[in-house]
């Protein structure tokens, strides 16, 4: 029996609250997760969990063993980190989490290129998972090494670096714009079909040094991913507010045209955050440097 693996399984069950969620996070089957718990309880001679259809409750023995497991695993991680810092080798597992909409940019391409260049680093990227709300620091407790955010995080204990500024634009296809009067100001959008991100229905415009807010009017299509909104715009469904990196090639090719250039949408910062201490790991430093260079260059 791999004692450390079973200990890890047990702690992940408690942290996720479900056997199925633990199985997904660990990359093993739910049956194996259940088997690990059964083996552990048999070896310890004590029941650790009380399971119902909706929840998992620790027994007194389970609580004691959970605290013990967390301490042991944390010490192992700390020692691994210390040794990795000494050897200076960029290697090992690297867990990255990002809001889904950022993953819809060329982040996937960047991480794939990083992984290809650094075969000794095993990268896992999770998009749109729990704990990624604004200002959230739960990614640390969930075992991630790096998290992407677009708003400042209110935790001075984290190591946070701004790696890019994301430009947003309004654009539409020539087919949609043909025969229609181009909008001259934000209020004119009421005469147009709008394509809206479900999590960002209010559009903001800069005019005369001020920031103006406008709830997108006449919404004909919405989605929680910019990849889908880009496709809708290319199909001539309407005007979309979208990160420029997502449509750079389309604008260059003339498949999409920008509108309301005199009323630019505000840029958004892109941050990476890492837990204190872990940011010094060679694999984390290497990753952050690579992604910073990637987003610092023009879109491909």
CATH number at residue 152: 3.40.190.10
Residue that the structure tokens 């693996």 belong to: 5
| 199 is a domain residue | yes
Phi and psi, residue 95, nearest 5°:
-100, 125
| 272 is a domain residue | yes
pTM confidence score: 0.64
Are residue 150 and residue 274 in the same domain, yes or no? yes
Q: Coil, strand or helix: which one is 33?
A: helix
Whats the size of the chain, residue-wise? Answer: 300
Are residue 57 and residue 104 in the same domain, yes or no? no
Are residue 52 and residue 78 in the same domain, yes or no? yes
Q: Which domain holds residue 228?
A: 168-258
- In 221-249, which positions are buried (b, 16+ CB within 10 angstroms) versus exposed (e)? bbbebbeebbebbbeebbbbbbbbbbbbe
Are residue 72 and residue 35 in the same domain, yes or no? yes
Are residue 70 and residue 129 in the same domain, yes or no? no
| 7 is a domain residue | yes
Are residue 116 and residue 78 in the same domain, yes or no? no
| 263 is a domain residue | no
102-150 confidence digits (pLDDT tens): 776 778 888 889 999 999 999 988 876 544 443 455 676 677 888 888 8
Are residue 173 and residue 225 in the same domain, yes or no? yes
Are residue 175 and residue 251 in the same domain, yes or no? yes
Q: How far is CA 179 from CA 174, 175, 176, 183, 295, in A?
A: 10, 9, 8, 12, 37
Report the alpha-carbon distance of residue 71 to residue 30 in Å, rounded. Answer: 25
**Contacts made by residues 23-30, CB under 8 angstroms, sequence distance 24+:** 25/142, 25/143
Helix ranges (DSSP H) in 88-210: 100-102, 108-117, 138-141, 174-177
Are residue 249 and residue 118 in the same domain, yes or no? no
Q: Coil, strand or helix: which one is 199?
A: coil
Are residue 108 and residue 150 in the same domain, yes or no? yes
51-61 confidence digits (pLDDT tens): 776 778 889 99
* 300 residues of the chain, pLDDT tens digit each: 567 888 888 898 888 888 888 888 777 788 888 888 888 888 889 898 887 767 788 899 989 999 998 888 887 776 666 665 555 677 888 988 888 777 767 788 888 899 999 999 999 888 765 444 434 556 766 778 888 888 766 655 678 888 888 899 999 999 999 999 999 999 999 999 999 998 889 999 988 778 889 998 999 999 988 889 999 999 999 999 999 988 999 999 999 999 999 999 999 888 888 877 666 788 998 999 999 988 877 666
Q: What is the pLDDT of residue 73?
A: 83
Are residue 152 and residue 274 in the same domain, yes or no? yes
Are residue 232 and residue 272 in the same domain, yes or no? no
244-269 confidence digits (pLDDT tens): 988 999 999 999 999 999 999 999 88
Tokens representing 96? 């990255």
The DSSP secondary structure of 57-96, one letter per residue, reads: EE-HHHHHHHHHHHHHHHHHHHHHHHHHHHHT---EEEEE
| 138 is a domain residue | yes
Number of domains in the chain: 3
Phi and psi, residue 59, nearest 5°:
-80, 175
CATH number at residue 247: 3.40.190.290
């Amino acid at each position: 029996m791999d004692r450390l693996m079973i200990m890890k399984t047990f702690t992940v069950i408690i942290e996720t609250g479900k056997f199925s969620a633990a199985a997904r996070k660990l990359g093993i089957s739910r049956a194996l997760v259940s088997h690990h718990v059964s083996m552990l309880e048999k070896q310890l001679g004590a029941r650790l969990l009380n399971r119902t259809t909706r929840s998992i409750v620790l027994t007194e023995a389970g609580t004691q063993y959970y605290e013990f497991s967390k301490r042991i695993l944390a010490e192992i991680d700390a020692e691994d980190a210390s040794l990795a810092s000494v050897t200076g080798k960029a290697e090992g597992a690297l867990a990255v989490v990002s809001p889904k909409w950022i993953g819809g940019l060329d982040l996937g391409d960047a991480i794939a290129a990083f992984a290809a260049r650094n075969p000794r680093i095993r990268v896992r990227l999770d998009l749109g998972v729990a704990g990624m709300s604004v200002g959230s620091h739960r990614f640390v407790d969930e075992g991630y090494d790096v998290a992407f955010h677009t708003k400042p995080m209110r935790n001075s204990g984290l190591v946070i670096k701004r790696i890019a500024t994301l430009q947003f634009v309004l654009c539409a296809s020539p087919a949609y714009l043909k025969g229609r009067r181009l909008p001259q100001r934000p209020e004119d959008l009421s005469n147009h079909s709008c394509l809206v991100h479900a999590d960002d229905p209010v559009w903001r415009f800069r005019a005369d040094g001020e920031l103006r807010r406008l709830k997108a009017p006449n919404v004909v299509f919405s989605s929680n991913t910019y990849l889908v909104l880009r496709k809708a715009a290319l199909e001539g469904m309407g005007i979309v507010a979208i990160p420029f990196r997502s449509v750079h090639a389309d604008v260059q090719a003339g498949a999409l045209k920008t509108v309301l250039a005199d009323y630019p949408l505000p840029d958004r910062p892109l941050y990476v955050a890492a837990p204190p201490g872990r940011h010094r790991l060679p694999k984390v430093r290497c990753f952050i440097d690579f992604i910073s260079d990637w987003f610092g260059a023009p879109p491909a």
